[in-house]
Amino acid sequence: MVTASWVGLVLVAAALLLWRPAAAQQVGMIAGKDNPLPCTCTDVDVRVSFISVVEYTCWQQYTFGNCAQKFIMDSIKEVPEGYCQISCGRCPCCSSLAAAAEAAGLTEFWWAMNKTTGDRLGPLTAPGFAATLMAPDNNAMNSLFDKLGGKDRILSDDGVRGKLANIMAYHAVKPVPGYEAWTTPFLLPGTQLQTFKDGATLEVVEGGDGGNIKVQGAGSSAEITQKDIYACKGYINRLNWYLLPPGESLS
């Protein structure tokens, strides 16, 4: 026989699953040991009660332009900091993917992203953007630029710039359902990662158990040399080479 106390426990458990703790909303998946999480901001979706179903995510509220609306700060008592703290840019202790890439010294990668992708990937400067960037180091990027004829040609030739834009989109991995960015503990051999390059995939061919993780593209592969650089709701993995998408060559 089901008692009232058991029903109460079930309702509380359901409420916790719907609301989810701040840390889960903040980072989605656990970061690797290389970069422990430095921030405890939240990104709790707008809701009318503790157990209500969410209609729009924080990222959607940001894209709707609702961050300055009164209801964002008129949160339930369990969320005293207000809704959508990260996505609406009220978190002082975490940065966007763009800022994290520059801080990590991935300057050539960010130059290429900034010059070629535009709004194709989403606003990389927004702290609530959930994606995982596979970022070739500066040596790899400079080699890629040389193959394309140098930065001046990239900037002056629409065809070359379009080729680089496709390559860069292939280095941005879409979040898993629920707007949660991939992190390396989940990159096991055989994992398929959908990218912003028309949904083309990368495949993890080595990984797990603390070993090196290798990512295979359609035309090249690379190893992750630094894992899970933290950027609010996104992450960056430093690669030792660049990845070529289907249909792209440098010849």
d(CA 112, CA 168): 7
Q: Which region, left, alpha or beta, applies to residue 82 given φ > 0 means left and ψ of -120 to 50 means alpha? A: left
Residue 36 has a pLDDT of 52
What's the CA gap between 110 and 80, in Å, rounded?
35
Q: So what's the pLDDT on residue 72?
A: 94
Two tokens, residue 52: 């209500």
Per-residue exposure over 134-173, b if at least 16 CB sit within 10 Å of its own CB, e if not: bbbbeebbeebbeebeebeebeeeeebbebbbbbbbbbbb
- Average pLDDT in the 84-108 region? 91
Is 84's pLDDT higher than 70?
yes
Of the chain, the percentage scoring pLDDT greater than 90 comes to 52
pLDDT class for 126, splitting at 50, 70, 90? Answer: confident
Lowest mean pLDDT among 46-55, 137-146, 167-176, 225-234: 46-55
pLDDT of residue 31: 41
Q: What pLDDT, on the 0 to 100 scale, is given for residue 96?
A: 87
Residue 121: per-residue pLDDT: 64
pLDDT of residue 19: 34
Q: What angle, 0 to 180 degrees and rounded to 10, lies between the N-to-C axes of helices 107-116 and 158-169?
A: 120
Q: Could you read off the pLDDT of 32-46 as tens digits, one per residue?
A: 445 555 678 899 999
- 229 phi and psi angles, rounded to 5 deg: -70, 120
Average pLDDT, the chain: 82
Of the pLDDT bands very low, low, confident and very high (cuts 50, 70, 90), residue 180 is: confident
Give the type of residue at 146.
Answer: D
pLDDT band, residue 3 (cuts 50/70/90): very low
**Which pLDDT band, with edges at 50, 70 and 90, does 152 fall under?**
very high
Question: Greater confidence, 62 or 9?
Answer: 62
Q: What is the DSSP string of 152-219?
A: HHHHH-HHHHHHHHHHHHTTEEPPBTTTB---GGG--TT-EEEBTTTT-EEEEEE--TT---EEE-SS
Q: What is the mean pLDDT of residues 106-125?
A: 83
What pLDDT was estimated at residue 210? 57
Question: What confidence score (pLDDT) does residue 106 get?
Answer: 97
Q: Which of 198, 234, 229 is nearest to 103 (CA)?
A: 229
Nearest to 108 by CA among 159, 132, 144, 133: 144
Q: Which spans in the chain are helix H?
A: 4-19, 22-27, 58-64, 70-73, 97-103, 107-116, 138-147, 151-156, 158-169
Burial class of residue 187 (count of CB atoms within 10 Å of its CB; 0-12, 13-18, 19+): buried
* pLDDT of the residue at 46: 92
* pLDDT in the model for residue 54: 86
pTM of the model: 0.79
Share of the chain above pLDDT 70, in %: 80
Residue 224 dihedral angles phi and psi, to the nearest 5°: -80, 120
* Residue 213 pLDDT greater than 90, yes or no: yes
